Structure 1
Amino acid sequence: MKKGYWIGRVDVANPEAYQDYVNSNGPAFAKFGGRFIVRGGQFRAVEGESRSRNIVLEFPSYEAALACWDSPEYQAVKKKRDGHATAEIIVIEGHEG
């Protein structure tokens, strides 16, 4: 089964409120088997525009990744981020090559 991923690029406008979101999102991710591959960290944009924060979150399947995004648990936590950060997030199926 192919894994699923969230890939996110984020600019944080209100670090204190964003930290509350960060501190609260773990249980929703864990419920669906999510684990961080990338969570912030040093980076260099080598082509195109970038944002200040990047994440890659791995799930056991694409379906689990979508289920997490659509879940009431995550949507409740996401409200803590809304208005405090600008994000581009995609849910994508992994490649088994």
Structure 2
Amino acid sequence: MSAYRIAHVTVHDPEAYAGYQALAPKAFAKFGAEFLARGGAAETLEGPALQRHVVIRFPDLVRARACFHSPEYQEARARRNGACEAHVVIVEGVSEPSS
């Protein structure tokens, strides 16, 4: 069953955040991630307004977790340290109803 990583990010230091953006795609590719939404127009309907919203689909929850904890992603994450405010969750998708 697919899993989704949902991130809401406000960037405070674009130059430092660029280091994260340069490295993170390698980790996502390694674990079969597919970007469904990345930045773009957004409207906050409830809660705090953050700049960027990202939705990434993984083949399953195991790979979503493994990606986050991988050395590749942790290196990228270290590059954005202090450069942004991020709220990141992973959630398992729903199963398709049987026909």
So what's the TM-score if we normalise by structure 1? 0.92
Give distance in 2, aligned partners of 1:26 and 1:49: 27
Query: Take 2:34 and 2:79, find their aligned partners in 1: how far apart are those partners?
Result: 20
Task: Give, as a single letter, the amino acid of the residue that structure 2 aligns with 1:30.
Answer: A
C-alpha separation in 2, matches of 1:23 and 1:53: 17
Indicate the RMSD between aligned Cα atoms, in angstroms. Answer: 1.0
**Distance in structure 2 (CA, Å) of the matches to 1:48 and 1:10:** 13
Superposition deviation, residue 47 in structure 1: 2.3
Identify the residue that residue 49 of structure 1 maps to in structure 2: 48
Q: Residue 70 of structure 2 aligns with which residue?
A: 71
* Superposed structure 1 runs of 4+ greater than 3 Å apart: none
**Runs (5+) with no aligned partner, structure 2:** none
Equivalent residues of 1:40, 1:53 under 8 A apart: yes
Alignment of 1:17-28 (within 5 A): 17-28=16-27
TM-score (ref. length: structure 2) = 0.91
Cα distance in 2 for residues equivalent to 1:44 and 1:61: 28
In structure 1, runs of 5+ residues without a counterpart are none
Kindly provide the amino acid, as one letter, of the partner of residue 75 in structure 2: A
| Distance in 2 of aligned mates of 1:23 and 1:37 | 19
Name which one, 1 or 2, has greater alpha-carbon Rg: 2
Distance in 2 between residues matched to 1:36 and 1:10, nearest whole Å:
15
Number of aligned pairs? 96
What SS class does the counterpart of residue 23 from structure 1 fall into?
Answer: helix
1:48 is displaced (CA, Å) by: 2.5
